[in-house]
Chain A
Amino acid sequence: MHKKRRQIEGFELWLTLLGGLVLLFILAPLVNMFIHSSPDSLSEALHDREVTDSIWRTLTTSMGATLVMAVGAIPLAYVLARRQFRLKRLVQGLIDLPVVIPHSAAGIAILGIISRQSLPGQAAGWLGFDLVGHPAGIMVAMAFVSLPFLINAARDGFAEVPERLEHAAQNLGAKPRQVFFRITLPLAWRSILSGLIMMFARGMSEFGAVVIVAYHPMITPVLIYERFGAFGLSYARPVAVIFIGVCLLFFVLLRMLVKERSRHVRS
């Protein structure tokens, strides 16, 4: 009996060790980068208008893309969770497509539909701006690559809400709209919020699609790339460190919000 337990412990040690190596693989480059950034260089980057503007632009465009797309993505997720229809599997596959195609290729594809010759491009032209090289174009690129995270999370959230509860609400006399907003949505909200955060985070970190649609105005991932190309590692690194810090901060804050919110819903 005693021997058996020790064997398990030995095996678990191996598991922990191998898992630990993978964690180290993720952490090491990040920690290394933080260690090699001097406070002076960080402070200098923080006072650089180009850096702070790009961070602000990255946050707002990604947030904007997430919120605008949520208006359609959440209903789509609900339909996918609740309804059976022909070609449903195809639609599911389509939604995951942006995850598997190279993002530079996605950028080229997006460029095709937002260029001045395209219908959306002409519409933007009438309103007095060009989608290419504009924050709106950046939002389109960000949304394209990050939408699957929101749709899939929201779909899973809706699927977890028992249909019985919707039937019960209807049986009490509630209209479909009332059932959706007062029962289904609040119960799936935690997953949806998680999806929104993941979409926002994924949008912020996008480089490949955005750099093709809009090199300027620069979002931070593009700025980091440009500084690395033009001035080298030591110039790019402080910007990268600050941006990672900002991303982590937002990520942690929003995660805490989800936890707080779900605790509130439960109590």
Chain B
Amino acid sequence: MLEVNNLSLRLGDFALRDINIKVDNGEYFVLAGPSGSGKSILLEAIAGIYRNQSSGTVFLDSIDISNKPLRQRSIGLVFQDNTLFPHLTVRRNIEFALRLKNSNDQDVKTKLRALSDQFLLVDLLQRNVTTLSGGEIQRVLLARTLASEPKIILLDEPLTGIDSLQKDLLKRHLRALHRSGLTIVHVTHDFEEAYSLADRMAVMHQGRLLHTATPEAMLSHPADKFIARFCGHKNFFQAQAFDGELLWIEDKIKLQLKNDLISRSLVSILIDARKINYSDVRPSAGSNIFEGRILDVFRSPLGKEVLIDVGIQISVIVDDNLSDASSRQIDKRIWVEIPQEAVRLIRVNS
């Protein structure tokens, strides 16, 4: 088990603050967050690169490794940039790691063969590493890291900058490693990537760990606006409940909504962008109708996404085929209806 306790680190203007993580043996843990949130630095700190600058402790299998140098931590780190040794071939790169662990030539040979079979590197072994593609580099890096027989591997954006075919192949490799029982900590800025691989995930922002949960819980119950945005939710708001039938969204618009909340209690809400309606004319009946102005229109995988200012900014997704372009002109005044079934209340335990 990897256990990071109260890890803090200051590097110039950037600081990691009080990071606590527990990763169980055999778990696939994803650290997610936007660029610049400190994910890579955290990974490098766990691996031991900032040993002399950081405070807090790191335990691996109940052993305190906080003061151990990089080479003695049994933590395999795959850096985000290509760290294959450019003066060595693919084979020599892997052998470099193998020979540090094995003195017997036969063992080196056997393990090299096993790793190159596992990561489909047999045809690449004699290649100069400067001629490899992004996906090939990652596979060699994985093989080289595993050659050093780590107890846990840390992957820094292993799928970034790789074409989609190679990415699928790499994901298969990663899932296979996970099934084999290896503990993996994987850093990414991509929620979908995290969702497709993680047992559990944590979201980082500005050097802090915001929330840790399973990907499903992260998506269905985002802890705050930042995490909701990161998970791809368009309409996540904080609201205040009144008298069991009103929600005051971000102190700006009032939503008529039956609820069983205590008056004045705070709640998070998600509004399904596909269930919101809008039209040029004010609907004659119904509640929760707001006048708004179209701010932006763009294509999304689900249809056209229309960003509307109704006091708060909400996103509406409309079917491309069912609405005509004239109803989506920027700055156009329109009427928005938010039906009761579009709103989901989230009570976050925090």
Q: Could you tell me if A171 and B128 are in contact, using CB atoms closer than 8 angstroms? A: no
Q: Could you tell me if B87 and A172 are in contact, using CB atoms closer than 8 angstroms? A: no
Known: A172-B145, A173-B101. A187 touches B86 (CB 8 A): yes
Q: Could you tell me if A172 and B69 are in contact, using CB atoms closer than 8 angstroms? A: no
Name the residue among A167, A186, A265, A267 with the largest chain B CB count within 10 angstroms.
A167
Give every chain B residue within 8 A of A164 (Cβ-Cβ).
79, 81, 83
Q: Could you tell me if B87 and A171 are in contact, using CB atoms closer than 8 angstroms? A: no
Q: Could you tell me if A174 and B100 are in contact, using CB atoms closer than 8 angstroms? A: yes
Q: Which of A235-267 touch B at CB < 8 Å?
A: 265-267
Q: Could you tell me if B85 and A167 are in contact, using CB atoms closer than 8 angstroms? A: no
Give every chain A residue within 8 A of B101 (Cβ-Cβ).
173
Q: Could you tell me if A171 and B100 are in contact, using CB atoms closer than 8 angstroms? A: no
Stretch at the interface among B70-78, B185-193, B293-301: B70-78
What secondary structure prevails in chain A residues at the interface with B?
Answer: helix
Q: Could you tell me if A170 and B81 are in contact, using CB atoms closer than 8 angstroms? A: no
- Give the CA-CA distance A162 to B83 in the complex, in Å: 9
Return 30 A-B CB contacts under 8 Å, by A number: A164-B79, A164-B83, A165-B83, A165-B85, A167-B70, A168-B77, A169-B85, A170-B69, A170-B71, A171-B47, A171-B70, A171-B71, A171-B75, A171-B76, A171-B145, A172-B96, A172-B148, A173-B101, A173-B148, A174-B71, A174-B100, A175-B71, A183-B85, A187-B85, A187-B86, A187-B87, A265-B87, A266-B128, A266-B130, A267-B128
Q: Which of A149-185 touch B at CB < 8 Å?
A: 162, 164-165, 167-175, 178, 182-183
Give every chain B residue within 8 A of A187 (Cβ-Cβ).
85-87
Minimum CB distance partner of A164 in chain B: B83
Report if B221 contacts A (CB, 8 A): no
Report if B249 contacts A (CB, 8 A): no
Minimum CB distance partner of A178 in chain B: B100
Give every chain A residue within 8 A of B44 (Cβ-Cβ).
167
Interfacial residues, chain A to chain B (CB-CB below 8 A) = 162, 164-165, 167-175, 178, 182-183, 186-187, 265-267
- Give the CA-CA distance A182 to B48 in the complex, in Å: 21
Report the minimum CB–CB distance from A146 to chain B (whole Å).
Answer: 28
- Give the CA-CA distance A93 to B177 in the complex, in Å: 53
- Give the CA-CA distance A267 to B130 in the complex, in Å: 9
- Give the CA-CA distance A83 to B128 in the complex, in Å: 31
Give every chain A residue within 8 A of B145 (Cβ-Cβ).
171-172
For the side of the interface on B, what is the size category?
A: 20 to 34
- Contact flags B85-111 to A (C-beta < 8 A → 1, else 0): 111000000001100110000000000
Report the minimum CB–CB distance from A233 to chain B (whole Å).
Answer: 51
Report the minimum CB–CB distance from B139 to chain A (whole Å).
Answer: 16
Name the residue among A173, A187, A265 with the largest chain B CB count within 10 angstroms.
A173
- Give the CA-CA distance A170 to B71 in the complex, in Å: 5
Report the minimum CB–CB distance from A96 to chain B (whole Å).
Answer: 29
Report if B122 contacts A (CB, 8 A): no
Task: List 4 A-B pairs, minimum CB-CB distance, nearest first.
Answer: A168-B83, A170-B70, A172-B97, A173-B100
- Give the CA-CA distance A203 to B47 in the complex, in Å: 46
Report the minimum CB–CB distance from B153 to chain A (whole Å).
Answer: 10
Known: A178-B100, A267-B128. A171 touches B148 (CB 8 A): yes
Report if B39 contacts A (CB, 8 A): no
- Give the CA-CA distance A236 to B104 in the complex, in Å: 64
- Contact flags B49-77 to A (C-beta < 8 A → 1, else 0): 10000000000000000000111000111
Give every chain B residue within 8 A of A175 (Cβ-Cβ).
71
- Give the CA-CA distance A183 to B130 in the complex, in Å: 15
